[in-house]
Amino acid sequence: MATYDLAVSFAGEQRALARRISERLDGSGYSIFFDEFHQGSLWGSDLTIALNDVYEHDARWCLILTSKEYVEKAWPNLERQNALSRFIRERTGYLLCLRLDDTLLPGLPATIGYLDLRTSSEDAVHGLLLQKLGPPSHGDCVAGMAESDRELARSVIAACYRRAIFTRMVSEIDLPAMYDSIGEAIGQLQRLIPRMVDPRLQFLTLQLVRSLDEIERFRNASSETFSLNLSKELRSRIDAEKIETIRVLLDIRRSAAIGVQLPTSLCVAHFFTREAAREPPGV
């Protein structure tokens, strides 16, 4: 079984697009090779060997963001050569090319179908990727995390899976309900941390506590009880901490290989009671 459902190959100029695509799929439970997700394993590795393994052997599909910059740069060229080697050897639909300009991918037959981002939205591309990939199907690539820690990671995600954390501050929110719910999440996380053995899981959970604690501290920055009465600056600062919380939750999900779909961004969802603040986030 492949380690990754999808390997993403791109030039640095398209990193933001590659990140958005990868994060959405990662949040849906797919195993994605996007270099930022694997900095620890790549650090100190011979990248020529590591990338050869990824793009020629270890992924079910390879998504290439085709652009002028992509065909001109050395590392994308290395990734492309390895992916093409797999394509030529197996003669299957391994390569998924997303065209960003008129540049053609050297070595790929002109008859191979492309998808053009200039005529398709990112949402449409995401939907087609879900169709192409099918259900997640990958090997367990978690290095050394005990099942007991994976259960604790699931509990961490469950503690934070609430509207109080995933809702943007432009929503209509009862602030005491939000702060109280976030305080409950902090308390649950603090009780889980001493039971953790995996040092990375401990570190990430402590990061969650820090971000959530920063949000709770904003309670003292204003006497307002309704979100829309806060200043735009204060709402933005709270949103920034919530976005950081989501980033860490996705990292925990990825590190523990937990097959649960998480939102990858904040949503608009109004709530006015503590019970509603504890409910799962909207989409």
Residues 55, 123: one domain?
A: yes
**Is residue 105, in this structure, part of any structural domain at all?**
yes
Range of the domain at 165: 147-278
Residues 65, 182: one domain?
A: no
Residues 111, 167: one domain?
A: no
Residues 128, 228: one domain?
A: no
Q: Which of 71, 102, 133 is at the close of a domain?
A: 133
Q: Do 171 and 226 contact (CB within 8 A), yes or no?
A: no
Give phi and psi for 119, each to the nearest 5: -120, 0
Band (pLDDT 50/70/90 cuts) for residue 252 is very high
Q: Which of 133, 163, 182 is at the close of a domain?
A: 133
Mean pLDDT of the region 248-255:
90
- State pTM to two decimals: 0.74
What is the Cα–Cα distance from 182 to 215, expressed in whole angstroms?
Answer: 8
Residues 164, 261: one domain?
A: yes
Count: domains in the chain: 2
Band (pLDDT 50/70/90 cuts) for residue 8 is very high
Is the predicted pLDDT of residue 142 greater than 60, yes or no? no
CATH of the domain at 95: 3.40.50.10140
**Is residue 106, in this structure, part of any structural domain at all?**
yes
Is the predicted pLDDT of residue 94 greater than 80, yes or no? yes
Residues 127, 9: one domain?
A: yes
**Is residue 268, in this structure, part of any structural domain at all?**
yes
Residues 119, 161: one domain?
A: no
Average pLDDT, rounded, for the chain: 91
**Is residue 182, in this structure, part of any structural domain at all?**
yes
Question: Closest Cα to residue 34, out of 22, 24, 26, 46?
Answer: 22
**Among 17-21, 156-160, 209-213, 262-266, the least confident range:** 262-266
**Is residue 141, in this structure, part of any structural domain at all?**
no
Is the predicted pLDDT of residue 88 greater than 90, yes or no? no
Length reported for the chain: 283
More confident residue, 9 or 263: 9
The pLDDT of residue 138 is 75
The pLDDT of residue 144 is 60
Band (pLDDT 50/70/90 cuts) for residue 141 is low
pLDDT tens for residues 13-41? 999 999 999 988 887 778 899 999 888 88
Q: Which parts of the chain fold into alpha helices (H)?
A: 15-27, 39-42, 47-53, 68-72, 74-90, 122-133, 147-160, 163-166, 175-192, 199-217, 232-255, 274-278
